[in-house]
Amino acid sequence: MAIGTAGSSAKVSAASSGGGSYRSAFALVTTLFFIWGFLTSLNDILIPHFKDIFGLSYSQVANIQVAFFFAYAIFGFPAGKVVEWIGYQRTMVAGLFTMALGAVLFIPAADLPSFPLFLVALIILGAGMSALQVAANPYVAVLGNPETASSRLNLSQAFNSLGTTIGPPLGGYLILRGAANMVENTSSMSAAALRAYQQQQAASVKFPYFIFALVLVLLGLAIALYHFPRIDTTKDFRPMKGGEKQASIWRYRHVVLGAVAIFVYVGAEVSIGSFLINYFHQSYIAALTELAASAYVAFYWGGAMVGRFIGSAVLQKVKTGHLLTLCAIVAMLLVLTSMLTFGHVAMWAILAVGLFNSIMFPSIFTLGIAEMGPLTGEASGLLVIAIVGGAIIPKLQAILIDHIGIHHAFFLPVLCYMFIAYYGWKGSRVILPEGVV
């Protein structure tokens, strides 16, 4: 099934056999945004938890995000091809079942306990999520008027942020509450005692991830049984002058720069979210316990949720690129404020970044696939691959934290927001490559 685009004349019509309505299809697909937002945000809970259990450095525990987000780089393009072969619906189902497998693997990983096996489980979870992203994001973009595609995707992403808002406090309660008896220094333990201690602490993830796996299977069955509207796309993509080949996506500046923007956006968002609990634990910021700090992380992701609901309305009237630039500049200033201050000012400044992160991903995504016609599948795959920024940039920031401290390492997200501001203002303009009319 070809993938339509927000910038093409793609339209949705119910299949003659009696497919589901536009609104119900939109609502059902939006539940996927909630699910992957919820599960992604739990990585922010796993980072401090596994750091303590396995005695890891910041750079070592950052491999949680590396494993999870690197799956996007591996499976992004294949997922785009899968959508073309089997369609949106079956790709969503396959993605959900793959995620369920990853969640189930948390159980043997906790029983061993094995940090490498946890990383394998996260890779499988990320692989399933990459399939959902490749299928769901462009599907929402073509479900209606091309002019309001960004607004529509922002609305779906708002429910993604609802998941990331609920995830940290709920995950903190389910996972970190078992860490009340954490041992500060395990170096004096025997090998047997250390293994027993790690098993006891890691066991707190088993029940939550079993429930998550069950929910993913049930949702996969619901998607499989639902009759989705059929996507009809036009085939009148701009041809090459005098040539027989369609233009490569690599020749479209707004697509390539859009991939870079997605890379740095996800990297910045995840870098900040990953280390908030440790950041708030510092005596010069808030001196909070890990469990108490996990509740405040909800404000970061909750700001993104509120901003996306607001952004969905604002984008009906304001150009997407202009709003993206404004939000990137404000986010950059807030991170700088947090780096240059202490106490509650630093804490609330970094939390407020979530509000301005809100419209960035859906806005970059719709700008990046604009006017790509039948090449939207490949463009979407490239943008999803760029989510690997969530693996690389947090890892780089973790290395910086180990060397210069957590307070000053946030300059890396500042650089990311600078590029996003440029993309919204100028880099997202659709410029035809030479030879395309």
Taking only the tens place, the pLDDT of each residue in 168-210 is 888 888 887 765 566 666 667 888 888 888 888 889 999 999 9
Beta bridge partner(s), residue 13:
230
Query: For the residues 67-74, what does the mean pLDDT come to?
Result: 88
| Alpha carbon distance 49, 34 (integer Å) | 23
Mean of all residue pLDDT scores within the chain: 83
DSSP of 41-91: HTHHHHHHHHHHHHT--HHHHTHHHHHHHHHHHHHHHHHHHHHHHHHHHHH
Q: With 90 as the cut, is the pLDDT of residue 39 above it? A: yes
Half-sphere exposure of 386 (CA within 13 A, CB side): 23
338/329 Cα distance (integer angstroms): 15
The percent of residues above 90 in pLDDT, for the chain, comes to 35
The H helix count followed by the E strand count for the chain is 18, 2
Stated as kind and residue range, the H or E segment containing 232 is strand 230-232
- Which residue did the predictor score with more confidence, 230 or 361? 361
Place of tokens 């106490």: 343
CB distance 53 to 202 below 8 Å: yes
User: What pLDDT score was predicted for residue 314?
Assistant: 86
Sign of CA dihedral 306, 34, 140, 413: positive
Closest by CA to 106, choosing from 49, 183, 60, 33, is 49
Task: Give the chain's largest Cα–Cα span.
Answer: 75
Joined together, the tokens standing for residue 390 give 């969530």
CB of 271 closer than 8 Å to CB of 398: no
Which range among 7-11, 125-129, 252-256, 366-370 has the greatest average pLDDT?
A: 125-129
- In the prediction, which pLDDT does 208 show? 92
- Calculate ∠ Cα 261-61-337, nearest 5°: 50
Tally of CB atoms within 10 A around 430: 13
Percent of the residues in the chain that have a pLDDT greater than 70, as a whole number: 85
The dotted CATH code for 20-231+248-427 is: 1.20.1250.20
Q: Could you report the per-residue pLDDT of 258-314, keeping only the tens digit for each?
A: 999 999 999 999 899 888 988 898 888 888 887 788 788 888 988 888 888 888 788
* Omega of the bond leading into 48 within 30 degrees of 0 (cis): no
